[in-house]
């Protein structure tokens, strides 16, 4: 009888400490928040705003990507050896790959990751392609570093991203590289 009581007590304790099926696990979300923080996700996916103290992340738009209210003109062409341009919000980037915009990582179902599955997210990070099979992820996204994370860590990141406030923000599609300006030939100089 004593063994039965111990077994039932142990099972009850384990059941109480585990997240219910379909419910987020607070420990997993906390781990995901930690990984998003040390991974620098806010650096590119949270727009900057001007404040009296200088620029700061706009935490009302946390991880929502490039603001859809800020249309970007064509990026300036840089002369070698320079090759990169960044928008003032730190969410638009231009280089030899073209122009890329930080994606909306919030759980908004229409403009963010709300319609994604955990499997889609992991495949995206592992393969460096949108939804694991679409267009390539573009610089400066360091997916090739993040793909080394464990499945548990990627699941934790996804759980955290699902727990933050959804922000409706339709990020523009990437743009191809601009054609380089023609250089004067020796005959026209």
- Is the residue at 90 inside a domain? yes
- Say how far apart CA 82 and CA 89 lie, in whole Å: 20
Helical spans, DSSP H, in the chain: 2-17, 26-38, 41-45, 118-127, 143-146, 151-163
Q: Is residue 17 part of a domain?
A: no
- pTM here is 0.81
Give the number of domains in the chain.
1
Per-residue pLDDT of the chain (189 residues; tens, 9 = 90+): 455 444 444 444 434 444 445 677 999 999 999 999 999 999 999 999 999 999 999 999 999 999 999 999 988 877 778 788 999 999 999 998 999 999 999 999 999 999 999 999 999 999 999 999 999 999 999 999 999 999 999 999 999 999 999 999 999 999 998 765 555 444 443
Tell me if 126 is assigned to some domain: yes
Give the residue carrying structure tokens 């090759």.
83
Does some domain include residue 156?
Answer: yes
Residue 42 is assigned to a structural domain of this protein = yes
Please indicate, yes or no, if residue 49 is contained in any of the structural domains. Answer: yes
Does 30 reside within a domain?
yes
Domain enclosing residue 99, as ranges: 24-69+83-163
């Amino acid at each position: 009888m004593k063994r039965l009581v111990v077994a039932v007590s142990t099972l009850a304790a384990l059941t109480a400490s585990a997240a219910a099926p379909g419910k987020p696990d607070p420990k997993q979300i906390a781990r995901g928040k930690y990984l998003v923080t040390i991974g620098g996700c806010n650096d590119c996916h949270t727009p900057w705003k001007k404040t009296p103290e200088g620029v700061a992340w706009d935490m009302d738009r946390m991880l929502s990507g490039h603001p859809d209210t800020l249309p970007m003109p064509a990026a300036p062409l840089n002369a070698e050896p320079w090759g990169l341009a960044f928008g003032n919000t730190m969410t638009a980037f231009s280089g030899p790959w073209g122009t890329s915009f930080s994606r909306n990582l919030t759980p908004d179902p229409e403009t963010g990751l709300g319609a994604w599955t955990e499997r889609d997210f992991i495949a995206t990070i592992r393969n460096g392609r949108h939804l694991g099979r679409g267009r390539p992820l573009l610089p400066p996204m360091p997916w090739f570093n993040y793909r080394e994370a464990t499945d548990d860590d990627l699941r934790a990141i996804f759980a955290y991203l699902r727990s933050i406030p959804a922000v409706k923000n339709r990020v523009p599609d990437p743009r191809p590289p601009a054609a380089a300006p023609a250089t004067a030939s020796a005959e026209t100089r």
